[in-house]
Amino acid sequence: MYYHVVNAFCLRDYYIFIEFADGVKGVIDLSDKVGRGGVFMPLADRQYFCKMQVDEQLHTIKWENGADLSPDFLYERLKQKNNGRKND
C-alpha cells in the first residue's frame, strides 16, 4: 500500500502532527531520528527540525538538506501509537 502524507507540522520537542490521505492522523515522536549522523544530524537543532515540509512528489516530510522519512515508516509509527485507529 502507498501512504501519502497530506499535512504535517511541528508541535513541541520533536513531536509532529501528521495526516495521511486515507484520513489517518495524529501525533508522533521523532526524537529517536534526530542527530543520528549524516543528513539527520542537523535535525537535532529544534528550529531546523521544525522547518520540515510536506513534499508532494515524495508524499512524505522532508528537510532542506535532503533528509526525509519514508511515508511507510511514518504511517506504521502512527499506527503503532494509535493501535490502528483512525483519528477523527
Parse the chain into domains and list their residue ranges.
5-82
pTM score, two decimals?
0.85
Query: How much is the pLDDT for 63?
Result: 97
For 61, counting Cβ atoms within 10 Å of its Cβ (0-12 exposed, 13-18 middle, 19+ buried), the class is buried
Q: Where are the beta strands (DSSP E) in the chain?
A: 5-10, 15-20, 25-29, 53-55, 60-62
Q: Could you read off the pLDDT tens digit of each residue along the chain, which spans 88 residues?
A: 689 999 999 998 999 999 999 999 999 999 998 988 899 999 999 999 999 999 999 999 999 999 999 999 999 999 987 654 555 4
Query: How much is the pLDDT for 83?
Result: 56
CATH number of 5-82: 3.30.2020.10
Taking CB atoms within 8 Å and a gap of at least 24, the contacts of 30-33 are 30/69, 33/69
